[in-house]
Structure 1
Amino acid sequence: MSFAVRFLLLAAAFALIGAVADANTGGGDSNKVGFDVLGGFPFSPPAYDPDKPRAQAGPQVDEQLPVAVRKLNGKKVTITGFMLPVRMKDGRAVEFLLLRDQSMCCFGEQPQMNEWVVVRMAKPGAYAPDVPKSFEGTLRVGAIEENGYLSGIYLLENARAAK
């Protein structure tokens, strides 16, 4: 077999492997984002002030976010982390925090606000404790407030488990 034929067969095999990988990851239309990017900068949440309107936290949050992180707003991303359920329905996770690591528990250290992502599932999904799991959806970057409190800076909307 000539070199040219072997080269073409090898190129075809690599193309097939790439097509299979794309099919397994949703066609490659989602960017993988890690906590090295999301949590790779110092972040200090603004102090809670009941006398200020809720919108006051937004500018204080945005000015701390690196440009590269702000550019992820509205993008389809895949993020891997550990699940901490916030809301369940019929034993399945509807909303949860996706954590950088397993340190957020009764004896661990509290993670920084840029080390978790609030995940809202498109459909309730299986809860997988103690194992890293990947989710894809649309990432919202900026202040997430609930009842006047800043509860996060990252929200993964319409999420589903990544393959």
Structure 2
Amino acid sequence: MGTQQIEPAAVAVEAVEPGAEVEPQGLPVTDAADPAPAADEAGEVVVEVGIPELPVDPATLEGEPAPLSEDAAVASDAAEAADAVVADETATADAAGEAADAEDAEDALMLNDRYRVTGEGTAESPYQIDFDMLVAVEQDYAPKEEGKKEIPEWINVLNGKHVNITGFVAFPFLAATANECMVMLNQWDGCCIGVPPTPYDAVEVQFAEPLDLNRGIPNYGTLSGVFRTDPYLVNGWLIGLYVMDDAKIIDSGSRNQAGF
């Protein structure tokens, strides 16, 4: 019995020339568009695979928000309710503030658009003033400076009016009685202890009647009298500015620089 030699089937492999198109083998990647194989300069086959497009929800394109979950909806409602409460409280506070401002406009005197002065300027209802407004005059009146040689009109409104002012008190000398004193923003003993006054933070006081000091000498109190501006200049330098006449002490005591 003879033996028959079977030759293996020859497989032809064609070389791919650079730039030549090659038909793809196997199934297409997508049924929408087949990849277009190409050969690069080195002769290698490159296949570009297309990415299939995903369906897009039209609602998303129109910018409509996704529905909230139940918990998120509850939280959103609670936040809106809280905002409404805050808005109501703010509106109430604003209304109260406007009412207070209206009341102040009727019952108070506004000086320099900053200082609210209560009272009527009479002996029965004196204006309640403080050193903040008196010290502020320095911004407008300093005789040694150009453009500041005139006392501002807003402080002259108090001239001839009854006022109350509270501060530290110093007497010019020790005696059984006193006809005058000085009321100041800062404590000062007349010599070495405390802060010496300036023309803007002190008022020279003349009492309507002598003050009896036998029972004690106060260094702090509230004084009431007729207020006026009376600049005292020496060679153009301001030495004194405020004066109170026909005064009396309506409340007095002792206090240190710290307020005790």
Alignment TM-score > 0.5, same fold: yes
Q: How far apart, CA to CA, are the structure 2 residues paired with 1:45 and 1:69?
A: 16
CA spacing shift, 1:136–1:61, aligned 2, 3 Å: farther
1:162 to partner: Cα distance: 2.3
Alignment match, 1:111: 197
Aligned length: 123
Alignment of 1:7-156 (within 5 A): 27-28=124-125, 30-42=126-138, 44=142, 46=144, 63=150, 65-86=151-172, 91-103=176-188, 105-127=191-213, 128-130=217-219, 132-144=220-232, 151-156=239-244
Contact 1:135 1:162 in 2 (8 A): yes
Q: Which runs of 5+ in 2 are unaligned?
A: 1-118, 252-260
Contact 1:98 1:116 in 2 (8 A): yes
Alignment match, 1:160: 248
SS at match of 1:114: coil
Q: CA-to-partner distance for each residue in 1:120-161, whole Å, 9 max, x for gaps? A: 00111145433x211111111131369x98541111001112
SS at match of 2:132: helix
CA spacing shift, 1:66–1:160, aligned 2, 3 Å: same
1:81 to partner: Cα distance: 1.2
Q: How far apart, CA to CA, are the structure 2 residues paired with 1:91 and 1:34?
A: 29
Query: Which structure ranks higher in relative contact order (CA pairs < 8 Å, sequence separation ≥ 6)?
Result: 1
Instruction: Provide the TM-score with structure 1 as the length reference.
Output: 0.60
Q: How far apart, CA to CA, are the structure 2 residues paired with 1:98 and 1:106?
A: 17
Q: How far apart, CA to CA, are the structure 1 residues paired with 2:222 and 2:148?
A: 26
Q: How far apart, CA to CA, are the structure 1 residues paired with 2:230 and 2:149?
A: 6
Contact 1:144 1:154 in 2 (8 A): no
Q: CA-to-partner distance for each residue in 1:16-74, whole Å, 9 max, x for gaps? A: xxxxxx9xxx632x111110111124354649xxxxxxxxxxxx9861x3332121111
Q: How far apart, CA to CA, are the structure 1 residues paired with 2:143 and 2:192?
A: 22
Task: Report which stretch shifted further, 137-146 or 110-119.
Answer: 137-146
CA spacing shift, 1:31–1:109, aligned 2, 3 Å: same
Choose between structure 1 and 2: higher helix proportion: 1
Task: Report which stretch shifted further, 65-74 or 116-125.
Answer: 65-74
Q: Identity over aligned residues, as a percent?
A: 28
Contact 1:116 1:154 in 2 (8 A): yes
Choose between structure 1 and 2: higher strand proportion: 1
Q: Which runs of 5+ in 1 are unaligned?
A: 1-21, 48-59
Contact 1:34 1:79 in 2 (8 A): yes
Q: How far apart, CA to CA, are the structure 2 residues paired with 1:31 and 1:108?
A: 28
